[in-house]
Amino acid sequence: MRETHIWNLALILLYFSISFGVTVVVFPKFIRFLQRFKLTQKLRTDSLSGGTAKIFNELHAHKAGTPTMGGVVILGAVLLTVMVSRVLSLMGVIEQGLLNRSETYLPIATLMLVGALGVADDYLNITEHSAQKGLSAKFKTYTLLLFSVLGAAWFTLKLGWSIIHIPGVGDFDIGLWYAPLFLFILIGTSNAVNLTDGLDGLAGGLLVISYGVFAAVAYFYGLPLLAMLCCTIIGALVGFLWFNVPPAGVYMGDTGSLALGATLGVIAMLTNGVAVLAIVGSIFALETVSVAVQLFSKKYFKRKVFLIAPIHHHFEAKGWSETQIVMRFWILGMLVGAAGLIVGIMGMGEGSILSEPKGNEYQRTEPFAVTPLELGDWPLSTPVQIR
């Protein structure tokens, strides 16, 4: 029904506008609050490999004192928008808010729980209340592992998921291996985005692209509420970027990067888009691989492959300006994003509204929370009954 598409797109615009408006209005006051209580960026003294971060401090000395923990506002804007949608639902203005067991419970829970971990890490880091400046890597890893186990249990036990889709190849039931895959995706994306968040606007812009791709994939996959949640997050990220583009007035901190990375991984799993994530998130993966290669080379060969890792700092040390690096990485992000979107929509697997119907109808384990998208609304498709 075309009316359904129009209504869904109107809600997407509404939720985007609310989260964007909240961040734009709140951030100036939040930045002043952070400055007043000296909740600002502290330059690290140790490198990832354990030595002194000499090159990093030379490149980023001017950024010391920049307010951080901007992820608090991003997550708060998303949560407030979710609450507004719930109120509208209770008032009868809309049929279903953004809270839905099969589509949005897990992404929202991931965003908030991992965000809380990031808040603790940021606070301990900037106040220097711990010897290692922030939560230890071991504690963060174990906590993320716990969140991942809970998420994997939700997917496998509550939602009954065990299938992954490889575009152009088909669907594969991997059974109990689905849980370890979920753990790898959630922890991997969380840390990859965290490593990428090192230059003004870099991680924020790449996240906008990634969430935009998965918003489209989720909509085509027949998950309109998940698409709306993605666009709500995009609205908050765009509002954040207003204050984060060079020279940044605020950083998202681990509060934002860890939570938004983990949530992106969960959304990829919900849309059966592991392969799409591998394409769309390839810039994040490149950053992570550059760190792994650097650590491996220094440990076993006693030499560095890059001047400094992650790789965006290598280009910075080579003389590229911060704006050049960010813009070029954004361009690469848009290219892989476009490729991922094409693969994601054209190669959808089981559960897609574009997949082959079984008999005369296509079955879903959960009813649509918003009026369903019928295949007859799409060009060159055969109408089927969706229930």
**3-state secondary structure string, 43-74?**
CCCECCCCCECHHHHHHHHHHCCCECCCHHHH
For the chain, give every domain's residue range.
Answer: 2-380
Per mean pLDDT, which range of 40-44, 150-154, 363-367 is the poorest? 363-367
R_g of the chain computed on alpha carbons: 21
For the chain, percent of residues with pLDDT exceeding 70: 86
> How do residues 270-294 score in pLDDT, each as one tens digit?
999 999 999 999 999 999 999 999 9
Q: What is the torsional sign of CA 306, 257, 346, 184?
A: positive
Looking at mean pLDDT, say which of 131-140, 288-297, 354-363, 369-378 comes out highest.
288-297
Q: What is the mean pLDDT of residues 339-350?
A: 82
Task: Kindly indicate the confidence band of residue 369, based on its pLDDT and cuts at 50, 70 and 90.
Answer: very low
Report the amino acid identity of residue 199: L
Q: What is the mean pLDDT of the chain?
A: 87
Instruction: Provide the token pair at 196.
Output: 């990428």
Task: Kindly indicate the confidence band of residue 104, based on its pLDDT and cuts at 50, 70 and 90.
Answer: very high
Alpha-carbon separation of residue 150 from 141, 144, 191, 230, 365 (angstroms): 14, 10, 18, 22, 21
Residue with tokens 């797109």: 9
Count of CB atoms situated within 10 Å of the CB of 13: 13
Q: What is the mean pLDDT of residues 288-303?
A: 95
Q: What is the mean pLDDT of residues 137-152?
A: 90
Q: What is the mean pLDDT of residues 226-255?
A: 97
The pLDDT value recorded for residue 371 is 41
Length of the chain: 387
The pLDDT value recorded for residue 68 is 93
Report the amino acid identity of residue 117: L
